[in-house]
Amino acid sequence: LVQNAGNLYVATGGASRDIWEGDNTNSTWDPTTAGLTTDPTDMVEFLGYCWVAQGEVNVMRRRLLSTGTWSTGTVPAVFLASGAVGTANGNTLWRSDNINELYWTVDGTTWSGPLYAGDTNTLIRSLLIWDNRLYIGKDDGLYVAQDGRVNQLFDFSFARDPNNFKWMRVWQGAIYFPIGSGLYRLIG
């Protein structure tokens, strides 16, 4: 989900693959003709665009929210996060690609990286910016990126699972995330 200026954007996959807009002018979701080439894997707002990731093979799509114009990006992404990370980065768009690689941009066109999160035996399952840090959820643990380094914060290699850390979210001052069949939280 992406929210901008009272509008809400959601993505669907399968036969109805598109980005849908709810704009409070009617009671229906309107397709925005995103031109996606595969099912969307994540989306986020950054610099007035709605960025849509399509996996590590297909390049991202982006929609200029002020005009509704879609364009094709230049790089692929599986997961996205935007916000302030560390002391020097300011507002940054982060993307995961190729199992454990992280790239970032501050202008939407020039990408830096990669930083590596863990090993190549476990996939990144989610990205989340909270408290000036980028949190990276993988099958085997929670990693954090700050000031040009990635460190493992919690090791869950004893409970590796492809659903670990999927859909991490911040709610009421804590990060919530699944591990196996349980829900955990990390408080400040």
**Could you report the per-residue pLDDT of 37-86, keeping only the tens digit for each?**
888 999 999 999 999 999 999 999 999 988 989 999 899 999 999 988 87
pLDDT tens track for 86-99: 755 568 999 998 88
Spell 104-128 as b/e; 16+ CB within 10 A means b. bbeeeeebeeebebbeeebbbbbbb
Spell 1-33 as b/e; 16+ CB within 10 A means b. ebeeeebebebeeeeebbbbbbeeeeeebeebe
> pTM for this one?
0.89
Report pLDDT for 89: 58
Contact 74, 58 (CB under 8 A): no
Task: Assess whether pLDDT exceeds 90 at residue 29.
Answer: no
pLDDT tens track for 109-135: 999 999 999 988 889 999 999 988 999
